[in-house]
A = this chain, B = another copy of it.
């Protein structure tokens, strides 16, 4: 069997990580602030990085908490806001780990359909009118995982109105924001209302995932509450990781890294869209304007379980759409183009199209 081509993992390939930049940042970090890097910190994170993030978001440092990766930030926020039985709104489809994390907490997860311009706000309103009383709505506004869709400005505003009227918090989970390779940057929901919204992002997509640095931005009292939870969980996050990220950011390496990543992603997304149109014309999708993911809908009745197996047999993997919903999603799949080169994409989509032809030949009567 040929080497497997993976469209499965939302992670960058090594060629778009600035390893030399990281190595240099590590050396400078230990040289410039040996005490700050090596001593225990506090749970709010490495102070210079905290201040740097705060400035970028136009808030005071007391509104920022820097964590070991943004999943950990999510976990702290859920610890603070989600009790068993609490209603939580999520997009349908949404990130599978968020779904699992909420279900593990006993949350009553309510999925609201995601459209190409973001969550269906009218449908959300109907859910609320029907009696849902959520504590939280989890929203991935830009280049959503798994769909790649972006929430429009109009919907950002309407969503915020609903949250204010109904008294729930919007958790704006925004790890991909810096990776826009087409179109105009949109204002964050947090920038419209820093009380109703808690914002999370990460350096996983702009520096590297293995450094595990993410963060929350929110109202001062919310951040103080979460800082207490963080203290009793781990005293402080890695000062070494955060010190390296800080040096990487302030040296300008971050901006260069983002440009390199965006250039690669633009090419990969374009290659993927072209390959799908050419090899798999049954695939319906929206061209992403940034991020890592493309969501593919195949004709209704397509057995994506069977497609997964047939594709794996040809050395190509993806994540089934059903992983990102509570039920259904049977004819959809997520393709991540962040970790594959254009040549791999072309070859991988050929294999996927072969697998599709095979299951269509076998499965036609069932469709």
Contacts and interface: CB of A to CB of B under 8 A. Distances in A.
A212 interface: yes
Contacts of A23: 26-27, 30-31
Given A97-B235, A232-B104, A234-B72, A210 B22 contact: no
Interface in A135-175: none
A100 B210 CA distance: 31
A38 B205 CA distance: 11
B38 A211 contact: yes
B35 A14 contact: yes
Contacts of A38: 14, 17, 19, 22, 208-211
A146 to B, nearest CB: 16
Contacts of A208: 37-39
A237 B36 CA distance: 20
A328 interface: no
Interface stretch (A191-199, A216-224, A239-247, A286-294): A239-247
Given A37-B208, A68-B238, A69-B234, 17 more contacts: A14-B34, A14-B35, A17-B38, A22-B38, A23-B26, A26-B244, A38-B208, A39-B208, A40-B209, A68-B212, A69-B235, A71-B233, A72-B234, A75-B234, A210-B238, A210-B239, A212-B239
Interface of A: 9, 11, 14, 17, 19, 22-23, 26-27, 30-31, 34-41, 68-69, 71-72, 75, 97, 100-101, 104, 204, 208-212, 232-241, 243-244
